[in-house]
Amino acid sequence: MKAQPRRMSLSEMGVWGAPVRVEFGDGWEEVWVQTVGDRTEALERGHEAMQRKLLEFRAGTERAEALTEALMLAPTCDLIDLIVEGERAAAAARARREMRDPVCPRQDAAAGETEEQFARRVAEHTRRCEEVAAARAARVEELLRARREELAALPREKLVELARPRRVDIECWNAFAAACDDWVLLRAVRRAEDHAQQYFSDISELQRLHPAVREQLKRAYRALEPEAGADLPKCCCSTGVSGSTS
């Protein structure tokens, strides 16, 4: 039976939690994990981590030179895949411009259109939208195939030049995601016996956890979100972020 709504303050809305039993090896610990309403802190820390990561790839640094060397040794197909995936969003935007969404129908009650007639038009609109979506997807793949052919004709040095910013972008977004996850979990994980008390006193405690333990906490947090598989701070998750294909 569905629980009946109860009156609560606005500050309480959107904040709920659940007990979580974290197990590793032959040990276990029970904590309370609750949603974090304000993600500002996590997002700010994520942007800071992204900026620090970007600085690592400044021209002349060891990290920048190592990246260039790694890309020079990478298979040509991997370089092309990296470049093409970085251009997929632009190809999708082009396909949307070329193939506009069908106009959403509105019931013409003034002309005497019945509910049944309108329902038929809605069904036709849905079918047409599906056709357009399929055509767009095919167009994107067509554009990317053509791009692959162009890239295959380029010298390796040019491919490395094009792939390098994409690889840096992935590294930066992954750093952003990891930092966001950590700061959300810092605020979300509470003592089982006292939900008002954070389990970790500072971010370093959480970051020292074994990866398998942190992953259990991440899964527990995502399970609390209203949308299945929602990202921790609504912009990243443990397996990657928008713009990242690592």
DSSP assignment of 101-143, as one string? Answer: PPPPP---GGGT--HHHHHHHHHHHHHHHHHHHHHHHHHHHHH
Read off the pTM: 0.74
pLDDT digits (tens, 9 = 90+) for 9-24: 777 777 889 999 999 9
- Write out the chain's pLDDT in tens, 246 residues: 566 777 877 777 778 899 999 999 999 999 999 999 888 999 999 999 999 999 999 999 999 999 999 999 999 999 999 999 999 999 999 999 999 999 999 888 888 888 898 899 999 999 999 999 999 999 999 999 999 999 999 999 999 999 999 999 999 999 999 999 999 999 999 999 999 999 999 999 999 999 999 999 999 999 987 664 444 444 333 333 334 433
At 38, give phi and psi (nearest 5°).
Answer: -95, 110
Dihedral sign computed on CA atoms, order 216, 218, 222, 224? positive
pLDDT digits (tens, 9 = 90+) for 141-187: 999 999 999 999 999 999 999 999 999 999 999 999 999 999 999 99
Domain ranges of the chain: 17-224
Mean pLDDT, all residues of the chain = 89
- Rounded to an integer, what is the distance from CA 76 to the centroid of its chain? 27
